[in-house]
Homo-oligomer: A and B are copies of this chain.
Amino acid sequence: MRYLTAADIKKVFSMRQAIEADREALSLYSAGRADIPLRTNIDVPEHNGQSLYMPGYVSSSQPALGIKIVSVYPDNPQKDLPSVPATMITLDATTGVVNAVLDGTYLTQLRTGAIQGLATELLSRSNSSQALLIGTGGQAMSQLLAMLTVRPLKKIYIYDLDQKRATDFAQQAAKKFSRQFAAEFLPIADPDQVVAQVDIITTVTTSHRATFDGQLVKSGTHINGIGAYTPDMCEMPTEVLQKADCIIFDTMDGVLAEAGDIIQPVEKRQLSKNNFTGELGQLINKKILGRTSQNQITVFKTVGTAAVDVVAADRIVKAAQQAKVGTILN
């Protein structure tokens, strides 16, 4: 058995590798090759907590089997612990033996960034040079890296409700990425200042209302909705969804069950299921079309799936085995 910390994973697995793992996972998912049972939730009311168990299996020549354990304990920060601790367990699908334990928080950041990178690579204009990132929480840095990885961005505007956080984040980003990418990281006070000029908008918040003005979105823009992962959250403006030429989800079942961005306008009959083009895996599998002209507005929405966790984790473990990275447990 192998134990992999976030630092171990960083050593052996790049954002580009994560994007390729996600591409495989979502392609197999949409082709019906994934078995993702219903999540099991256990409430721990005495400690104001909940613990979620998300196993999955994805069948291919490199089969991936495992379970992500995610807990939600809102009081944890008072104890200097993360409020959403996560651990990933992988099994060798050919023998059923548990073969690795991975930092689940970093895995989630990496694979969620990579899902967006994949969508941005498939849906945004290839000459996109400006992006807007809304939200600078725990998932944001990976979202930024994913955009930088797939498009030749020159300017990335950074917005957060808390201006100081946006400024700090932009500084951190410059420090982290300026050697690798020729991009400027520009904190801004109001996202609507730049909505009309950027090529890509990525919003990653827990907002309950639109984080930018949809009327300002110009033709040709690609929009990623990464946050808003419950039915009562919403961060993408409904106007944009109404005028979008192409709306793609990571999984149809997941988004229609969990994403308030989509569920709320459907319930209000502002959108119908005919507005939804299909799944990212179907696009990869060439079963549907994505962007077909430079002038179209494209939208991607993700809530995640265990299919991506198990495939990404499996590929990380294989890379770590090859590179002899991680702590070996007898």
Q: Which residues of A contact B (CB under 8 A)?
A: 1, 3, 5, 35, 37-38, 40-44, 46-47, 49-51, 53, 55-57, 59, 63, 65, 67, 69, 71-73, 76, 79, 81, 85, 87, 89, 91, 93-98, 101, 327, 329-330
Q: Given A35-B42, A51-B96, do A91 and B71 touch, yes or no (CB 8 Å)? A: yes
What 20 additional pairs, Cβ within 8 angstroms, besides A69-B98, A85-B96, A327-B329? Answer: A43-B57, A44-B57, A44-B59, A44-B63, A44-B93, A46-B63, A47-B63, A49-B94, A50-B96, A53-B53, A53-B55, A67-B69, A69-B91, A76-B95, A76-B96, A81-B97, A85-B95, A85-B97, A87-B98, A98-B101
Contact A47 B93 (CB under 8 A): yes
Contact A5 B96 (CB under 8 A): no
Minimum CB–CB distance from A102 to chain B (whole Å) comes to 11
Contact A51 B87 (CB under 8 A): no
Nearest B-chain residue to A87, judged by Cβ: B98
| Copies of this chain held together in the complex | 2
Contact B85 A71 (CB under 8 A): no
Contact A89 B91 (CB under 8 A): no
A95 touches which of B69, B81, B87, B91 (Cβ 8 Å):
B81
User: Which B residues touch A3, using CB under 8 A?
Assistant: 1, 3, 329
User: Which B residues touch A72, using CB under 8 A?
Assistant: 96
Nearest B-chain residue to A104, judged by Cβ: B98
Contact A101 B35 (CB under 8 A): no
Complex Cα distance A3/B91, Å?
Answer: 16
